[in-house]
Structure 1
């Protein structure tokens, strides 16, 4: 129970950093951007129990941070990621400069046939929060969706960066989205209609975009 409670705090910390360092500063531009270390210290002041999960603040020396994966806790990594995302979005600009940013995931808002209810995930996988249906894009997921469409039948696939970039077209993104809905809700593609799609900047990975779909059950 305590472990689950701690895990549920992690996305909260991530969200708070984004809310302050991007959205709040965007509306109050006289405010100062808080970097990783200053935000970590502030988080502990506001919630002292977080100190037990802060490796950096517990160090007895001032050695340089040269291996974040080993030197930082999960909470600290989330704070660092959120600071990096906020910095790349740049609250001083009216609109983020997202040109050239790759799509890193798909997100789906699933609604019923009457457009009265929507499906939101809520489980240990979403760390206790309600969430849209989401699926990260990677080489393996894109290859599997391309294979399922029969585009690469009886051919050997050489996994390269160019293949990945070529594979992530709109058809493949839709197939990944349909697959995500199937996994989350058990609903097949032939039972769904895409009624809207768009692209938005991602709040989970720096300098990437998310392909967003609204799907309706037939």
Structure 2
């Protein structure tokens, strides 16, 4: 279970209001405007998206990961979460993102939801679908909505991470939404391999998913396809869209990594993303787990990689027949 903690005593549990406040302070406040606010600039599409991404992570960290450790905690529905997030006196500027649409139309009649409001609703839906009462979600019928890459060095003891690309202040591996990679041409309802609907759509084509993975690595690192070796793939749950999965590709590289990226030992990484979300006590604080939020779905894969005895690869070249057999294996 991701981020296992000691749930033996209720006095050790950080309750909803305190937990949300701590997460908002850590993740959301750094992207909020400070001091006198230029409302038009603060509510630009870019600013709204930035705040929404941080809030989305905050909701899932509480509603899924924190409640997975402490199931007795209540679920924060969108209304309850918004109320808890707004209580902190230091976060008054967050209110205009939560109420942006209503403020624009006066009393809010027919106003709909702001970008941040929608992010809260979506994250709550995702947390419910993942179900924190279970060790892991049942994903066999979930469509694939994202491709991710765990880029491992020659020893398989270090991986490549980037900082702040998905959520400010949070580490992540390379991830790409399929709809984004394909220019938005893929329907979220499109069936995938294993679905009962046999009109198979693009996500069921393993070759296409692999190409998205290789393209994302080249974009982020400059490494060419010929300088990478496919190791294996895993299906994990996604934190981006309700009831969808991520296809995680493990790739091996053997060259210098861009200085804007970080090579991190797997043992250190797993240690930092393990344990509770909060350090409880008289003055609770967030732990390093929050900074590795995007990696939490992949923790079991990372542990498996770390604990496995790997043969050393003498060459990065992959024969064409091996690639063909590999693609057939994945497509089964």
- Name the TM tier (shorter chain): 0.7 to 0.9
Please report how far the alpha carbon of residue 119 of structure 1 lies from its aligned counterpart in structure 2 after TM superposition: 2.7
Please report how far the alpha carbon of residue 96 of structure 1 lies from its aligned counterpart in structure 2 after TM superposition: 1.7
Equivalent pair of 1:7/1:127 in contact (CA under 8 Å): no
Number of residue equivalences: 194
Measure, in 2, the Cα distance between the counterparts of 1:138 and 1:9: 22
Matches within 5 A, 1:114-193: 114-115=155-156, 117-122=158-163, 126-128=166-168, 129-138=170-179, 141=182, 162=199, 164-165=201-202, 168-193=204-229
Measure, in 2, the Cα distance between the counterparts of 1:114 and 1:91: 34
Instruction: Tell me if 1:54 matches 2:98.
Output: yes
Instruction: Tell me if 1:199 matches 2:239.
Output: no
TM-score between both structures, scaled by the size of structure 2: 0.50
Q: Indicate how the Cα distance of structure 1 residues 120 and 7 shifts in structure 2: closer, same or farther if over 3 A, else same.
A: farther
Equivalent pair of 2:181/2:212 in contact (CA under 8 Å): no
Measure, in 2, the Cα distance between the counterparts of 1:97 and 1:85: 13
Unpaired runs of at least 5, structure 2: 1-30, 34-41, 186-197, 255-332
Once structures 1 and 2 are overlaid, which stretch shifts more, 80-89 or 3-12?
3-12
Identify which of structures 1 and 2 has the higher relative contact order when contacts are C-alpha pairs closer than 8 Å and 6+ apart: 1
Equivalent pair of 2:55/2:120 in contact (CA under 8 Å): yes
* Secondary structure at 1:214 match in 2: strand
- What is the RMSD of the two structures over their aligned residues, measured on CA atoms? 3.2
Unpaired runs of at least 5, structure 1: 65-69, 145-160
Q: Indicate how the Cα distance of structure 1 residues 127 and 139 shifts in structure 2: closer, same or farther if over 3 A, else same.
A: closer
* Secondary structure at 1:39 match in 2: helix
TM-score between both structures, scaled by the size of structure 1: 0.74
State which of 49, 53, 75 in structure 2 corresponds to 1:33: 75
Equivalent pair of 1:121/1:184 in contact (CA under 8 Å): no
Q: Indicate how the Cα distance of structure 1 residues 126 and 97 shifts in structure 2: closer, same or farther if over 3 A, else same.
A: closer
